[in-house]
Structure 1
Amino acid sequence: MKWNDDVYDVADQVFAERRGATAETRRGDTALWQVLLDLGWPYVAIDENAGGVGGDLTDLAEIVRAAGRHNALVPLAETSVAAWIFAHSGGSAADLGAAAAILAGDSLTWTTSGRGVVVNGSVQRVAWAGAVPTLLLVREDSGTTTVGVVRPAEAEGLSTVLGRTPADEPCADLRFDSVRVAQDELFEVPLTAGRISDRDGVLRAAAIFGAVERAVEHSAQHVATRHQFGRPLVKLQAVQHLLASIICERDLLGSVVRLALATGGAPGATASAAATAGRVAHRVAAVAHQLHGAIGITREHDLHLSTSRLTTWAESPRSQRSWELRLGALAVAPDDEALWELTTSGSELSTP
């Protein structure tokens, strides 16, 4: 299943060529990240006049999907979302560099102080926060969304406890003790927190789909080549049923993500894709390990690279449950026709 044939083929080739030639450090695969910067891929789906390289959300999703499929340890989706936000502030997306956006909600308080604001509070296990040089703090209040640019290496009062996610990505616990953000580092953007969350959600669903593809590939290959009782495992009916079940899960997820992209990341379609991605991620990870047996959890086998990402991404930064609640809220909202449009417009899309 391809959402954009040309982008799919190129992205797959670039990430495949980097497999086995990585230069991973505690900050990720720095060599691959430089390749992506040179190609301008973190700035796809951002207008060229705003420092982007053009293209649309489907193009970006194909690239993020390839990164997930090849277990690339780079902050691609995080930087793409942050650059998109920054571009809406009037700045040039390409000037931002590697970054991550934090929608901390009530966990961070902003207090106006002189020409700027003072931020207090804490956020836990923010992916890539310990590796990227720039953070964007996003706050929505009374219909206005404000973005504050924070550079951890320079921010007084910001405590950072570095760690790793189960997917082996850098992360950090952040504590803000009267961290000052100057007026020239504050920007109002014509984006709601919900729209930013939707952008992140559809890209995360695309990354999960890529990792699901890889886990299914591993499983199909393993049961076809592993023999017991004188014949391949795939000849056993129970194994066939399990393999078929995760192939169906993969295709389901690919279809709902494709629908979300076709709608331009509309709220209902995005919530559906993100909620489905969470469920599929856990299901595929469990069945893939069941089919592999003990070898699937060893460092020598690549399966854990995909399944650890699946279980981590499915619950970060928003859980499957939170997306399901949002989908339910859309369903019962009296003045919101997003879910109705989603359920009635799908027949107009061509079958992949």
Structure 2
Amino acid sequence: MESMIHDMAERLFRDHVTHRMREDAASGQCPEALWTQIEEAGLTMALAPEDAGGFGVPPAEALGLVRIVGAHGLPLPLAETLIANAVLAAANMALPGGRLTIAEGEALRLERRGKKIHASGHLTLVPFARWANRIVTIGVLDGVDHVLSLPVKDLIVDPAQDFAGMPRDDIELDYTLTETDVTPLPRPVGGMRGLGALIRSLATTGAMETILKMSVQYANDRVQFGRPIGRFQAIQHNLATMAGETAASRTAAEMAAGSYDTPAFALAVAAAKARAGEAAEKVGALAHQIHGAIGYTQEHALHHFTKRIWGWRDEFGTELDWTRELGRAALSSPHDTFWHFITDSAAKGTQA
């Protein structure tokens, strides 16, 4: 099943996600036709449980789609929709279909007004908000986590964008929720920051794999001083560094995906997001050094990927935020040595 889902996504994105599409999306054009094909293929439901209409595959396999999203620079919220549907299903809420996105809801204020629940506050840098039908987030009411499904058409959207030109919109919320818009969360799901960090880690890994392939190809094609620049030791060293950073990030991201919905998730996603952020800085910089001036041009595809990984570094927590989480967990650990903390955390799933 993993091969079937991944192969389907690879074929679909390879055939339809072009340089022109990424350029058009960066200028504000949502690729509606491609989204229709993504939904018809059922990819948006891959992470939802089978009884909610999902594929019934292990979460790590479903989350593998996010790495493919990053590898193709897909300018649509498939990764966010996967998470949103999974969170809605965990709260036994209806899955509305369409494009969904997610946001951190810690800044929201929920209060009871008679029999209704009112939500107010701001959501910042919400991915693809203006292109989404609903925003899924988690807020706290009476000390209990509640899942909110917010209709974008009823909200005030302040458009903005990230480095790559993708929508990152601010939302002003002053909205009375209907019964179908809000439900108590029966069990923890990892928090919106953690879930967002997971998909950014996986997407960053996929994008860095594409950046590495582009750099290897360019180094083999570009001739200087009578030979391909890839034969120069300095270029080989840069490519080796990029390969190592990318491989380490993929390992950490896949470990986090494998720990989805388990007690090990908090630490695994903290390590994955921190590792991906570190790698993104190095891989992007080295790729542009190898490509030289051509890599900075609008016509070349490299910038679509480097801008994405640099923007994703700061979303859903920076590497500084997540390394602090790891540090707090290590300092509060009952283990005598740091090595025992690491090995026991990996085996038993110590919470951060």
Residues 294-316 of structure 1 show CA distances to partners (whole Å, capped at 9, x for unaligned) of 11111111000110110011111
1:129 aligns with 129
* Cα distance in 1, alignment partners of residues 246 and 299 from structure 2: 25
Q: Which runs of 5+ in 2 are unaligned?
A: none
Alignment check: 8 A CA contact 1:70 1:211 kept: yes
1:91 aligns with 2:97: no
Aligned with residue 41 of structure 1, among 31, 39, 43: 43
Distance 2:53 2:284 in 1: 38
Distance in 1 separating the partners of 2:3 and 2:189: 32
C-alpha distance after superposition, 1:262-310 (max 9, x if no partner): 3346221121111101111111111111111111111111000110110
Deviation at 1:159, TM superposition (A): 2.3
| Counterparts of 2:196 and 2:321, CA distance in 1 | 14
Higher mean Cα deviation, 198-207 or 25-34?
25-34
Change (3 A) 1:119 1:196: closer
SS at match of 2:172: strand
Q: Is the 8 A contact 1:167 1:312 kept in 2?
A: yes
Q: How many Å separate the matches in 1 of 2:328 and 2:342?
A: 10
Q: Is the 8 A contact 2:205 2:276 kept in 1?
A: yes
Structure 1 partner of 2:165:
168
Aligned to 1:202: 198
SS at match of 2:130: coil
Instruction: Render the CA deviation track for 1:248-270: whole Å, top value 9, x for unaligned.
Output: 11111121122223334622112
Secondary structure, aligned partner of 1:187: strand
CA distance in 1, matches of 2:94, 2:123: 27
Q: Distance in 1 between matches of 2:273 and 2:266?
A: 10
Residues 1:113 and 1:101: Cα distance change in structure 2 (over 3 Å): same
| 2:102 partner SS | strand
Residue 254 (structure 2) pairs with residue 267 (structure 1): no
Q: 2:61 matched to which residue of 1?
A: 59
DSSP 3-state at the match of 2:75:
coil
**Could you tell me which residue of structure 2 aligns to residue 15 of structure 1?**
13
2:151 partner amino acid: R
- Identity across aligned pairs (percent)? 26
* Residue aligned with 1:164, SS: coil
1:186 maps to 182
Indicate which of 216, 229, 236 corresponds to 1:240.
236
Q: 1:148-177, CA deviations, whole angstroms, 9 ceiling, x for partnerless residues? A: 222121x2xx4211122212212211122x
> Which stretch shifts more, 135-144 or 271-280?
135-144
Alpha-carbon distance in structure 2 between the residues aligned to 1:219 and 1:160: 38
Which amino acid in structure 2 is aligned with residue 255 of structure 1? T
TM-score, length of structure 1 as denominator length:
0.88
Higher mean alpha-carbon deviation, 270-279 vs 197-206, is at: 197-206
Q: Secondary structure at the match of 1:66?
A: helix
For residues 210-247 of structure 1, what are the alpha-carbon distances to aligned partners after superposition, in whole Å with 9 as ceiling and x for unaligned? 10001101111111111111111112111111111001
Aligned to 1:341: 344
Name the counterpart of 1:255. 251
TM-score under structure 2 normalisation? Answer: 0.88
Give the structure 1 partner of residue 312 of structure 2: 313
Q: Distance in 2 between matches of 1:262 and 1:118?
A: 36
Is 1:144 aligned with 2:141? no
* SS of residue paired to 1:163: coil
Partner of 1:278: 277
Q: CA deviation at 1:342?
A: 4.1
Counterpart residue type for residue 225 of structure 1? D
Shift of 1:87: 0.8
Secondary structure in structure 2 of the residue aligned to 1:328: helix
- Partner SS, residue 180 of structure 1: strand
The partner residue of 1:50 within 49, 52, 59 is 52
How many equivalent pairs are there?
338
Q: Letter of the 1:243 partner, please give it.
A: L
Q: Does the 8 Å CA contact 2:59/2:258 hold for their aligned counterparts?
A: no
Taking structure 1 as reference, are residues 306 and 45 closer, same or farther at Cα in structure 2, changes over 3 Å only?
same
Match of 1:70 in 2: 72
Contact 2:49/2:86 (<8 A) preserved: no
User: Any residues of structure 2 matched to 1:323-342 within 5 Å, and which?
Assistant: 323-334=322-333, 339-342=342-345
**Partner amino acid, structure 2, of 1:100:** T
User: Residues 61-92 of structure 1: CA distance to partner in whole angstroms, max 9, x if unpaired?
Assistant: 22111111111111011111111111122124
- Change in Cα spacing, 1:195 to 1:160, as seen in structure 2 (3 Å) is closer
Which runs of 5 or more structure 1 residues have no equivalent in the other structure?
347-352
C-alpha separation in 1, matches of 2:117 and 2:248: 45
d(CA) in 1 for partners of 2:347, 2:52: 35
